Amino acid sequence: MAQRRVSHAVSDTELIYSPDTYVRSVPHDALARLRHSTPVAWVEERPVDDWPAGPGFWAVLRHADVRHVLRDTRLFSSHLGATQIRDAEDLDYVRRMMLNMDPPEHSRLRRLLGKAFTPRAVARLAERIDRRAQALVDAVAEKGEADFAKEIAADLPLLTLADVFGIPESDRWLLFDWSNRVIGYQDAEYSRSAAFDASSATEMARRAMRLRPRDPVNPRSRAGMPDLYAYAHELGEYKRRHPGDDVMTALMHHVDDEDGTVAVEEFENLFWLFAVAGNETVRNGLPGGMFALLKNPGELARLRADRSLLETAVEEMLRWWTPVMNFRRTATADTVVGNVPVRKGEKVVVWFSSANRDEAVFDQASRFDVGRTENDHLTFGHGPHFCLGAHLARLQMRAMFTAVLDRLDDIEPAGDPIRLRSNFQNGIKRLPIRWTPRPA
């Protein structure tokens, strides 16, 4: 029996690490075996594409252990080695992003951002999100068939981010390309993403486009994203001179004795974070939620019959699908995680897609249940780095599925989904569906 467990653990750690695995599906069976036999498992970092082999890392798979790691920023640092499994080639650069900071630097920027998201600003965003979700579904409703991922879901987070930053809607598909190149660097299609059409774009966007690299480069370095940083720098300076009613204007103009002001360089890194992370979680969460409903037509019928379940249904979509599958920390001292000794400097990678199906926390964890009320999922993280955009993500999910239920009946698959090749983002690139239109 012991030998069989060792054999399983080795093969299963290889399985959860390989980006090729996720083209088929998230390996939930492998994660469950590891969670029961080796809940803190050592994973070898084999070479992947152009990325060299790494020193290996600890995969933390149980809900309680994931919470422990995320809560203790003193022992498990975001700053020391950043938050991606792979060691960063430009570590000094990525450390300047809020995602890769530890308190107190992280706390300062988070407070400034929190003050920019005023109740009035959030209410204004919520109204626009509702209108835009309805318009996106109305635009395709009479067709009876569409790619939910690209034709319906993709535009909502882009339009929402355009509102947050106060950028023209004509430039929003720049955000689509940037997030594709960063998140989808393991996917040949996404690493060359070029959906943006500059013909109707602003001069600011055209100037940035002239700096875009012709061939795919490492998107996790400043030199690999010169067009993004040029656009962000110019936008930040513009906000200083021409304030609007958007969240980023409020951020750029906020001054207080405790936290000071946001420098343009800090704005550039916040722009990167929102443009990528703020887009991808919702963009992958929306088709993930639709996929869950398609796989569970009884739950779709239950939700359609009782709209009061929408709020719990969205939380269940976020748990069951889990758009961001893992995040890294680095041990700052010798410690113990789940009874396993971890040495100073070793990588500790929390696996959300495993923790969100931990049977010790979730009853019938693999079941998709739109009425699940006890749902302490970790999709938005935990502790000091809990996702600042969680509220906006939930608003977008609820708005989109409200619009879908209003206009689209008899929803069913119209082809096989095409998944993103990534061991980080649980993404669907294409999700063809068909339906019977319901009158507006």
pLDDT of residue 379: 97
Q: Is the pLDDT of residue 113 over 90?
A: no
Q: Is the pLDDT of residue 7 over 90?
A: no
CA distance 411 to 429: 19
Tokens found for residue 156: 């909502």
**pLDDT tens digits, 250-265:** 888 877 767 778 887 8
Tokens found for residue 355: 């923790």
Interior/surface letters 64-101, b for 16+ CB within 10 angstroms, e for the rest: ebbbbbbebbebbbbbbbbbbbbbbeeeebbbbbbbbb
Per-residue pLDDT band for 422 (boundaries 50, 70, 90) equals very high
* Helix, strand, coil percentages for the chain (3-state, nearest 5): 55, 10, 35
pLDDT of residue 4: 35
pLDDT of residue 287: 97
Tell me the β-bridge partners of 145: 434
Cβ 438 vs Cβ 141: under 8 Å:
yes
Q: Is the pLDDT of residue 193 over 80?
A: no
**pLDDT tens digits, 228-243:** 889 988 888 888 888 8
Of the given ranges (126-135, 139-148, 202-211), which has the lowest mean pLDDT? Answer: 202-211
Tokens found for residue 354: 């495993």
Cβ 173 vs Cβ 415: under 8 Å:
no
Q: Is the pLDDT of residue 220 over 70?
A: no
Tokens found for residue 52: 């060299």
Q: Please report where in the chains the tokens 């635009």 appear, as a residue.
A: 139
Q: Is the pLDDT of residue 17 over 60?
A: yes
Cβ 288 vs Cβ 426: under 8 Å:
yes
* pLDDT, average across residues 160-170: 87
Of the given ranges (7-11, 113-117, 336-340), which has the lowest mean pLDDT? Answer: 7-11
* pLDDT, average across residues 342-353: 98
Q: Is the pLDDT of residue 5 over 50?
A: no
Between 211 and 297, residue with greater pLDDT: 297
CA distance 28 to 32: 6
To the nearest whole number, what is the mean pLDDT of the chain?
A: 90
pLDDT of residue 191: 66
β-pairing verdict for 408-413 and 432-437: antiparallel
* pLDDT, average across residues 341-367: 98
Cβ 179 vs Cβ 422: under 8 Å:
no
Of the given ranges (149-163, 176-190, 314-328), which has the lowest mean pLDDT? Answer: 176-190
Q: Is the pLDDT of residue 279 over 50?
A: yes
pLDDT of residue 39: 98
* pLDDT, average across residues 273-286: 85
β-pairing verdict for 57-60 and 347-351: parallel
pLDDT of residue 8: 43
Among 76-90, 158-172, 225-239, 331-345, top mean pLDDT goes to: 331-345
Per-residue pLDDT band for 1 (boundaries 50, 70, 90) equals very low
pTM exceeding the 0.85 threshold for the entire prediction: yes
* pLDDT, average across residues 102-107: 94
Cβ 290 vs Cβ 368: under 8 Å:
no
Tokens found for residue 18: 């390989």
What are the helix (H) ranges across 47-104? 63-71, 91-94
pLDDT of residue 6: 41
pLDDT of residue 19: 95
* pLDDT, average across residues 403-429: 96
